[in-house]
Chain A
């Protein structure tokens, strides 16, 4: 257990969170059964659990992409359940960065433009300092040479790194990643996790990452295990030595 030197602020708090699919139909099923969870600003946490346990469901909920059936999500202290779609979208855009399993870059845009996209969506035409920040983020993920390439001309790992740079563009307080290394080889996957670690440290951004790989979750500070829609364990641990990054 590593005790933080200064008190850590809370980014996210889930209270009695429930989610059912198919509400009002004969096949209504509850996937999350009242989840409580607090994420702190310095957390670099892994979310693990068997397939179908509700990890993606939980991530979508706390990323404000989906609405809970019951319970409340406090993001930076703000209750979010009663917000309308526009308010949730704005809060999502300004505080949360997403990384998905299949990078999900826009194929028509270059790497740099993809990174700029979140900023453009909320602030319109990018200013020179936005472009400078995007270039720096791309350099940070090791893609300084590839800013003008379209996604189709990048490898899977490079695409995923562009997606990570994009998630950081709005300087989010919380980075959510759903199996970001699911279709990457182990070496590339390890480098992505090393990148998360660095982001968590350098940008002061809470990271919650879903993974199936125990070696990767071992490199985090905290492991949350979800089974059948219930958190069965939540442990803080000192990280294993990071796997060799490529």
Chain B
């Protein structure tokens, strides 16, 4: 291969301006791909992070209660008309076992049992409907890092302490240390000490969430010893659906992934990714055509030289490789410059841009783009290289 390299590099260097122009073209294409991919990936990571910052990846809940229809003996055709049962709040059966099983599942990062139900928050004359969440603060923190969202007070639940959302606090005029009365169905009430105020950044949650100790919430919601939801986070968020299905099979419970819950967002992200891929593919195609046309011209320009190489004992395959290598080298050189430029654009965006979010450059992106561009170069060179290899040496030498 040494000769092929030697000749290919000499040829490229000799046709200086031509080489430079196509390298710039490839560089522009590559920088567009690198920048757009990094930008979209950064944007999507940011969106997902924000979404999942206040959500579990998978929520496990007890199965819906259904009417049991008894089939009369003799297997007659049976038409039934029934209403769906109203779903009362009920606990997951033997949830400690379920949590233990989920804890042991590979790929599962955190598991947190929660008891959740409705109540009214009352202060003076003001009444607000709230969602009571009874949590085990240590476990729950691994799902939603509450301490990150705390805007006042301290993170303390239990023994009559509670954390409430920023909006709820504003609505009820509550400050740290104030009392909040919760009234649940069945006339059960609890008076709690507000120790912390959080802001999750989702208005719905900030107006409704009230965190309590698991025990206190259980008695308030009349579910002693029970939990209604098990929140789970996993390592690979995009495998959430598979995990949810597995967990449902394993436990016989209802398991819903964030992908299902946020179907519209996920759909949007997928279309965005698809359009990024389309842009990259079309840029790659135009780069490929650029390389192919430059090399096709070069084959014509070098017809006589190819004839000499053939006359002096250069086999067809050698000539072919000389041009394939030129394609590869152009792809590599262009994409190296382009990747650097793309990286520069990302840096400029991160440093001087609108600052809405940070674009990380995935470590595989730049070597990946360079590898693909090199491959595109070789593939684009295939046709010109074949033409060069097929030149009849007699015709080639006479060519002027």
Query: Which A residues contact B (CB, under 8 angstroms)?
Result: 60, 63, 65-66, 85-86, 89-90, 92-94, 98, 100, 104, 106-109, 117-118, 120-122, 124-125, 166, 170
Q: For chain B, residues 295 to 335, give those with C-beta under 8 angstroms from any C-beta of chain A.
A: 304-305, 307-318
Q: Are A121 and B394 within 8 A (Cβ)?
A: no
CB contact between B3 and one of A60, A106, A108, A120 (< 8 Å): that residue: A120
Q: Are A117 and B14 within 8 A (Cβ)?
A: no
CB contact between A108 and one of B14, B314, B397 (< 8 Å): that residue: B14
Extra pairs beyond A66-B392, A124-B2, A125-B2 (5, CB < 8 Å): A65-B310, A65-B393, A86-B317, A104-B397, A120-B3
Residues of A within 8 A of B13 (CB): 108
User: For the complex, is B10 an interface residue (Cβ under 8 Å from A)?
Assistant: yes
Whole-angstrom CA separation of A63 from B316 in the bound complex: 17
User: For the complex, is B88 an interface residue (Cβ under 8 Å from A)?
Assistant: no
B interface size (C-beta, 8 A)? 25
CB contact between B11 and one of A86, A98, A108, A170 (< 8 Å): that residue: A108
Residues of B within 8 A of A104 (CB): 304-305, 307-308, 397
User: For the complex, is B6 an interface residue (Cβ under 8 Å from A)?
Assistant: yes
Residues of B within 8 A of A106 (CB): 10, 305, 308-309
Q: Are B310 and A89 within 8 A (Cβ)?
A: yes
Residue in B closest to A120 when the chains form the complex, CB atoms: B3
Bits for B1-12, please: 1 = Cβ < 8 Å to A, else 0.
011001000110
Whole-angstrom CA separation of A25 from B269 in the bound complex: 62
Residue in B closest to A104 when the chains form the complex, CB atoms: B308
Known: A106-B305, A108-B10, A109-B10. A121 touches B397 (CB 8 A): no
Q: Are A89 and B11 within 8 A (Cβ)?
A: no
Residues of B within 8 A of A107 (CB): 14, 305
- Whole-angstrom distance between the Cβ of B299 and the nearest chain A Cβ: 15
Q: Are B11 and A121 within 8 A (Cβ)?
A: no
Whole-angstrom CA separation of A117 from B14 in the bound complex: 17
Residues of A within 8 A of B315 (CB): 85-86, 89-90
Residues of A within 8 A of B312 (CB): 93, 98, 117-118, 121, 166
What number of A-B contacts does a CB cutoff of 8 Å give?
A: 68
Residues of B within 8 A of A85 (CB): 315-316
Q: Which of A60, A65, A66, A122 gathers most chain B CB within 10 Å? A: A65
- Whole-angstrom distance between the Cβ of A169 and the nearest chain B Cβ: 9
Q: Are B310 and A100 within 8 A (Cβ)?
A: no
Residues of B within 8 A of A120 (CB): 2-3, 6
- Whole-angstrom distance between the Cβ of A176 and the nearest chain B Cβ: 10
CB contact between B394 and one of A66, A109, A117, A124 (< 8 Å): that residue: A66
Q: Which of B2, B304, B310, B394 gathers most chain A CB within 10 Å? A: B394
Q: Are B308 and A65 within 8 A (Cβ)?
A: no
Bits for B276-291, please: 1 = Cβ < 8 Å to A, else 0.
0000000000000000
Ordered by A's residue number, 16 sampled pairs between the chains whose C-beta atoms are within 8 Å are A65-B393, A66-B393, A89-B310, A93-B313, A93-B314, A94-B313, A98-B311, A104-B305, A104-B397, A106-B305, A108-B10, A108-B14, A117-B309, A120-B6, A121-B314, A166-B312
Q: Are A86 and B313 within 8 A (Cβ)?
A: no
- Whole-angstrom distance between the Cβ of A151 and the nearest chain B Cβ: 11
Residue in B closest to A163 when the chains form the complex, CB atoms: B308
Whole-angstrom CA separation of A109 from B392 in the bound complex: 23
Whole-angstrom CA separation of A108 from B15 in the bound complex: 9
List of 5 A-B pairs having minimum Cβ-Cβ separation, nearest first: A93-B313, A108-B14, A118-B312, A108-B10, A121-B314
Known: A60-B394, A86-B316, A124-B2. A65 touches B305 (CB 8 A): no
Whole-angstrom CA separation of A86 from B310 in the bound complex: 10
Residue in B closest to A105 when the chains form the complex, CB atoms: B308
- Whole-angstrom distance between the Cβ of B44 and the nearest chain A Cβ: 48
Q: Are B313 and A121 within 8 A (Cβ)?
A: yes
Q: For chain B, residues 39 to 58, give those with C-beta under 8 angstroms from any C-beta of chain A.
A: none
Residue in A closest to B318 when the chains form the complex, CB atoms: A121
Residue in B closest to A122 when the chains form the complex, CB atoms: B313
CB contact between A65 and one of B2, B11, B309, B394 (< 8 Å): that residue: B394
Residues of A within 8 A of B394 (CB): 60, 65-66
- Whole-angstrom distance between the Cβ of A219 and the nearest chain B Cβ: 26
Whole-angstrom CA separation of A193 from B304 in the bound complex: 25
Q: Are B3 and A65 within 8 A (Cβ)?
A: no
Q: Are A121 and B309 within 8 A (Cβ)?
A: yes
Whole-angstrom CA separation of A209 from B397 in the bound complex: 17
Residue in B closest to A150 when the chains form the complex, CB atoms: B14
Q: Are B397 and A100 within 8 A (Cβ)?
A: yes
Residue in B closest to A61 when the chains form the complex, CB atoms: B394
- Whole-angstrom distance between the Cβ of B300 and the nearest chain A Cβ: 16
- Whole-angstrom distance between the Cβ of A101 and the nearest chain B Cβ: 10
Whole-angstrom CA separation of A109 from B304 in the bound complex: 15
CB contact between A92 and one of B10, B305, B307, B313 (< 8 Å): that residue: B313
Q: Which of B14, B304, B313, B394 gathers most chain A CB within 10 Å? A: B313
Whole-angstrom CA separation of A89 from B315 in the bound complex: 6
Whole-angstrom CA separation of A106 from B304 in the bound complex: 9
Q: For chain B, residues 1 to 42, give those with C-beta under 8 angstroms from any C-beta of chain A.
A: 2-3, 6, 10-11, 13-14
Whole-angstrom CA separation of A54 from B309 in the bound complex: 24
CB contact between A89 and one of B14, B307, B308, B314 (< 8 Å): that residue: B314
Whole-angstrom CA separation of A92 from B315 in the bound complex: 10
Whole-angstrom CA separation of A86 from B3 in the bound complex: 17
Bits for B357-400, please: 1 = Cβ < 8 Å to A, else 0.
00000000000000000000000000000000000111001000
